[in-house]
Amino acid sequence: MLILPPSPIIPTLEAGDFGFLRPLKVSRVFSSYWRFAAERQRVFLRRIRGASPPWSDDPVLQIHKFTNAYRASDRVSQYLIRRVIYDKEHNLRDTFFRILLFKIFNRIDTWELLEGEFGKVSLDNYSFKSYDRVLSEAMAKGERLYSPAYIMPSGGRSSEYARKHQMHLRLLERMIEDELPEQLSEAPTMARSFELIREYPSIGDFLAYQYVTDINYSQITDFRETEFVVPGPGARDGIKKCFTDFGGLTEPEIIKFIAKRQDECFSAVGVSFPTLWGRRLQLIDCQNLFCEVDKYARVAHPEILGISGRTRIKQKLKPTSEPLQLFYPPKWGINNLLNADPEYVPNPRS
């Protein structure tokens, strides 16, 4: 067991950081967190450089599927950014409508089903009746509408709708009627935007944080991803596996701490981390990495248990040669660097 301070494995926590109360204690999984993050990013870079699989010598990464170190690099997020948000110019309400409609299902096939039927997904051609018809017909054919990545609540017994997607279409209508897009654009902080979304039925903390992050990829809001974080269930599992004593910190404070001190942590475990063309890991990325290291530890450190007690990784890696067409929110200022080697981009950005 490693204790902070004065353990050399993790940097010393300054007295004023987060109202620190006592030393943090970490398990072996903490070192794996940083090694996993670096290797998963290198897998991503090897893929975009056209390397053939296997993309890693790590036997766990060779067999099992994990998300990227950077959330915005994942396939669905890339589709959202490139094809839903920035495919052309959209006004504020249409941008919000498109983002939330896509993210409710979080499935590219469902979006392309709607595009194939209506040509363009927008408020101009939206009607509950027509969208419900297309989605219901797809369900009748046995097609899946929702991604398994998020568990989307159905509304429970209080729902007046026979199908879950009907409730979600009405929920989106209500958001538009409430002028939620305008409220979000005027919100002073990411936390306030989170609260506005969280107020709606069937949306819990995890979904509200995911949605506010997706909306922040657009021009609706322009929050720094270093200001607010909400750990999901998987991240809480990963945090529990990494730390045997939180030192009096909350889970969000732990995520903020490791994001702030990431350079020192990578150095302490002896690995170099290739950033996203100078962009450091943000809170959403560190949150996701806790979720992924929870899964990784089920195989690499089976003796260390989290909260859920899960012991298997469900999804296996299915290597594909499909080319990655990268595009990030223009306000990040990295799209002009995508042809450069990210390991040699100077002056890292926050």
What's the pLDDT at 2? 33
Prediction pTM value: 0.91
Give the per-residue pLDDT at 209.
97
Averaged pLDDT in 10-residue chunks for the chain of 350 residues: 38 49 84 97 93 93 96 97 96 98 97 96 96 97 90 60 92 98 98 98 95 98 96 96 92 95 93 96 98 96 90 86 86 92 56
Element (H, E) at 25: strand 25-26
pLDDT at 144: 96
3-state SS, residue 230: coil
pLDDT score recorded for residue 18: 53
